């Protein structure tokens, strides 16, 4: 049976996504304090800006985790292959798969039997991966899944009954407050079976100046990355944000490990979105944009246990600024 979606079905799916985007934006900007959901950073422009940010020397997390994956590929592979049986390698928030490509290449060289299932909310990302990876990695079995993590995990589970190895890299777990992160891990556990595995990346607490510089880079890429969400609202939801009237403000609290980003309105102003909604901003009023939570290794192990996993291994970069931990579902 041909599973290709018709143009009508594609249009309907696009409308549903657009309606959800609109609803989330209006709900967030009507709240007190105002907020926007960081998952909407990643359209085609946002993807490119994030690539630029990852290549910026002040943004250390990518290089730290890249070091782990490039220098400790064999150890990570040994840990996830276990009994040698076939498995599904699922990556949540795959992005450009730069780090996981080291793992994919090594697994193929070891003749491991696996299917790679990248999951990403950006259809741009999934389209790119499904086209390019089979070319750069001959022999790779890949099924891209575009959508929300847990909905796509359910789809992945329906594809095969094989053991699941879930990659959740880039300290994506830090994109939510600690209590929400713990609930996310519990929900992740509910979607897995005993013996399934998670390889989770966590950015660690370190010198506060190092952390803050990563989210307040001299080139202003992080600022443009945040402002792009306002421009995306203009493009896709018929908004009229004047981004020159907003400034980017990051903070880092070394006690809690919470690094937060805000956009600050520099004037009293009104913004219209679509045909019906008008949002008022006072001078110096902020929009809460995102959190990038930093952890200690002890917190990582405690989170695993609280969520129903057992931490069985952890890998660090040479500076011990970042960890990739392996959790097994109990």
- Is 5 among the domain residues? no
* 8 occurs within a structural domain: no
Asked if 215 and 272 sit in the same domain, the reply is yes
d(CA 265, CA 82): 53
Please tell me whether residues 183 and 112 are part of one structural domain.
Answer: yes
Is residue 59 a contact partner of residue 217, using CB atoms and an 8 Å limit? Answer: yes
Number of neighbouring beta carbons within 10 Å of residue 89: 24
**For 195-250, how does the pLDDT look when each residue is reduced to its tens digit (9 = 90+)?**
999 999 999 999 999 999 999 999 999 999 999 999 999 999 999 999 999 999 99
Residues 285 and 152 grouped into a single domain: no
Distance in angstroms (rounded) separating the CA atoms of residues 292 and 259: 5
In a domain, 27, yes or no: no
Query: CB neighbours (10 Å) of residue 330?
Result: 12
Question: Do 125 and 246 lie in a common domain?
Answer: no
Q: What is the mean pLDDT of residues 52-71?
A: 94
The answer to whether residue 275 sits within a structural domain is yes
State which residues form the domain around 157.
Answer: 72-204+295-329
Instruction: Kindly state whether residues 157 and 300 are assigned to the same domain.
Output: yes
Whether residues 311 and 172 share a domain: the answer is: yes
In the chain, which ranges are E strands? 34-35, 87-92, 114-120, 145-146, 163-168, 197-203, 246-253, 258-265, 269-273, 277-281, 286-293, 309-316, 322-329
Question: Is the domain of 161 the same as that of 239?
Answer: no
Q: What is the mean pLDDT of the chain?
A: 94
Structure confidence at residue 100 as a pLDDT band (50, 70, 90): very high
| Tokens describing residue 141 | 């079995």
Predicted confidence (pLDDT) per residue in 6-21, tens digit: 776 656 666 777 899 9
Is 22 a domain residue? no
Highest mean pLDDT among 10-19, 39-48, 93-102, 191-200: 191-200
Q: Which of 165, 236, 171, 205 is nearest to 20 (CA)?
A: 236
* 19 found inside a domain: no
In a domain, 273, yes or no: yes
Look-up: residue for tokens 């549903």? 16
pLDDT score for 13: 64
Contact 89, 141 (CB under 8 A): no
With respect to residue 276, please indicate whether it lies within any of the assigned structural domains. yes
- Domain of 151, CATH number, reads 3.40.50.150
The whole-number pLDDT of residue 2 equals 42
């Amino acid at each position: 049976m041909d599973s290709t979606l018709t143009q009508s079905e594609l249009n309907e799916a696009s409308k549903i996504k657009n309606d959800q985007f609109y609803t989330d934006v209006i709900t967030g900007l009507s709240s007190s304090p105002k907020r926007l959901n960081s998952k909407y950073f990643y359209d085609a422009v946002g993807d490119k800006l994030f690539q630029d940010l990852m290549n910026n020397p002040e943004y250390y997390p990518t290089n730290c985790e890249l070091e782990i994956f490039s220098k400790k590929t064999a150890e990570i592979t040994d840990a996830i292959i276990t009994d040698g049986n076939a498995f599904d390698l699922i990556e949540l928030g795959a992005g450009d798969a730069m780090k996981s490509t080291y793992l994919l290449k090594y697994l193929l060289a070891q003749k491991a039997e696996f299917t790679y299932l990248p999951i990403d909310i950006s259809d741009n990302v999934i389209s790119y991966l499904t086209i390019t990876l089979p070319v750069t990695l001959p022999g790779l079995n890949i099924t891209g899944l575009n959508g929300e993590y847990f909905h796509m995990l359910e789809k992945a589970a329906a594809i095969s009954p094989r053991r699941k190895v879930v990659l959740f890299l880039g300290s994506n777990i830090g994109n939510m407050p600690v209590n929400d992160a713990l609930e996310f891990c519990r929900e992740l556990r509910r979607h897995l079976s005993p013996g399934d595995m998670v390889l989770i990346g966590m950015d660690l607490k370190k010198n506060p100046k190092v952390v803050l510089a990563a989210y307040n880079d001299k080139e202003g890429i992080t600022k443009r990355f945040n402002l792009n969400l306002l421009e995306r609202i203009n493009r896709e939801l018929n908004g009229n944000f004047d981004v020159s009237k907003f400034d980017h403000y990051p903070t880092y609290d070394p006690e809690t490990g919470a690094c937060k980003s805000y956009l600050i309105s520099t004037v009293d102003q009104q913004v219209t979105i679509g045909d019906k909604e008008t949002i008022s901003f006072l001078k110096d009023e902020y929009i809460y944009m995102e959190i990038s939570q930093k952890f200690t290794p002890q917190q990582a192990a405690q989170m695993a246990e609280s969520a129903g996993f057992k931490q069985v291994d952890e890998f660090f970069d040479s500076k011990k600024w970042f960890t990739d931990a392996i959790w097994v579902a109990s």
